[in-house]
Structure 1
Amino acid sequence: MNNTDDYRFRSHELLLELDAATTSLMMLVSARRLEGSPWADAINRQKLAYEAWVTLLNAPKIDPVPVLDGRAAGSYEPSED
């Protein structure tokens, strides 16, 4: 699997969790349950899901493997040295 596929897969995982966490919050609002431990847990879950998503978005887009295996960055061919 290449870096783009890995990024897309991880993005999908994180967005599913963020969506589920936000849905849980919306359900509590609909049920008028805006306090107590279920509310605090739902807020914390949504906060953590959002932070994980933002961390992925802001992660450096560097492929360290070409330096290690002699490939030109962004290619599968050996570098021209």
Structure 2
Amino acid sequence: MKFLAAIFSRQGFVILLLSAVLAACTVVVDDGPGPRPRPPRPEPQYCSKQYEPVCARRGGDRQTFANACLADRAGYRIVRD
């Protein structure tokens, strides 16, 4: 009986010690806020064929477009003088 008590007490202590060591080594990984949402796909922009000429500027370049939609689509800003 003493033999069994000695084995169980040593094993119990070793198991308790190993459990404590493993619990201390647990790693928690934080994935952060999650994946970023994808930017919206640029949808094709269709401009009408209305002729309402506008002057537009991009940097130092000035150009005349048939309408404001075409100027905006080309990346120009409409000049309003």
TM-score by length of 2: 0.35
Report which of the two structures shows the higher radius of gyration computed on alpha carbons.
Answer: 2
TM-score by length of 1: 0.35
